[in-house]
């Protein structure tokens, strides 16, 4: 397995501001994934981040709004730019020890964001 540590656990910000969410893995992982979960809803894949390359974004998510950095094999940050109340949700990073199909995804503790 892989342990993923996220911070902050919670954040409250004003509309129009930006915030960063950090994710640290306890071992080197090739891919990190960012998911968004609205209250009482499912998880939606936002993007895939590999070290040394641009993140790949899913439909509905853009790098201008949600820039992701992946400077090394244990670390990633997700930024929420120009935050709006509609961005209020929980953000999870996830990864697996091996980048391959059928591998279990493990999730960080999540960051609950509230935008006022």
CB neighbour list of residue 61: distance below 8 Å, 6 or more residues apart: 36, 46, 47
Question: CA-CA distances (angstroms) from residue 53 to 17, 27, 31, 35, 37?
Answer: 26, 19, 11, 19, 25
Is the CB of 11 or the CB of 81 nearer to another protein?
Answer: 11
Backbone φ, ψ for residue 20 (5° rounding): -115, 140
Let me know: does 43 contact 89? Beta carbons within 8 Å: no
Is the CB of 63 or the CB of 112 nearer to another protein?
Answer: 112
Smallest gap from residue 78 Cβ to another protein (A): 15
Smallest gap from residue 101 Cβ to another protein (A): 5
Is the CB of 17 or the CB of 41 nearer to another protein?
Answer: 41
Binding site for another protein (CB under 8 A): 31, 33, 41-45, 48, 58, 92, 96, 99-110
Is the CB of 13 or the CB of 45 nearer to another protein?
Answer: 45
Smallest gap from residue 93 Cβ to another protein (A): 10
Backbone φ, ψ for residue 29 (5° rounding): -130, 145
Smallest gap from residue 105 Cβ to another protein (A): 6
Q: 3-state DSSP call for residue 88? A: coil
């Amino acid at each position: 397995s892989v342990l993923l540590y996220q911070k902050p656990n919670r954040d409250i910000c004003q509309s129009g501001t930006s915030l960063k969410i950090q994710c640290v893995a306890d071992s080197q992982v090739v891919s990190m994934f960012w998911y968004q979960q609205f209250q009482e809803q499912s998880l939606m894949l936002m993007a895939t981040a590999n070290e040394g390359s641009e993140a790949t974004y899913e439909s509905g998510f853009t790098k201008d709004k949600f820039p992701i950095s992946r400077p090394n094999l244990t670390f990633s940050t997700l930024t929420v730019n120009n935050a709006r109340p509609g961005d209020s949700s929980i953000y999870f990073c996830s990864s697996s020890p091996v980048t391959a199909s059928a591998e279990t995804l493990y999730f960080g503790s999540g960051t609950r964001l509230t935008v006022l």
